[in-house]
Amino acid sequence: MAVTWTYEAPAEGETTVEVTFTSDDPALTHTRAVNAVFEGDVYSVPLTEARVAEVGAGVENKIAVGAITPPAEEEEEDGGE
């Protein structure tokens, strides 16, 4: 299983980034807010990426143990008739 993620820099005045995590097996997406990292008042790209990677490792573990699963409609589309 591989989990990847995408997100944009936080909008002005925001302190979180909306991250979409994507798993290839099982095929699913999971979206959640992650705290962006700032040094003083300046958004830090590398520190935020490190934080998102940490959260991503947790998301990957939760998928592996079944705590995060595809929504029912995704399961039906993939395997239902």
Question: Which pLDDT belongs to residue 19?
Answer: 98
DSSP letter (8 states) at residue 46: H
Question: Which pLDDT belongs to residue 76?
Answer: 52
- pLDDT tens digits, one per residue of 15-71: 999 999 999 999 999 999 999 999 999 999 999 999 999 999 999 999 999 999 988
d(C-alpha 40, C-alpha 66), whole Å:
38
Helix (H) or strand (E) holding 72: helix 72-79
Question: Which pLDDT belongs to residue 1?
Answer: 86
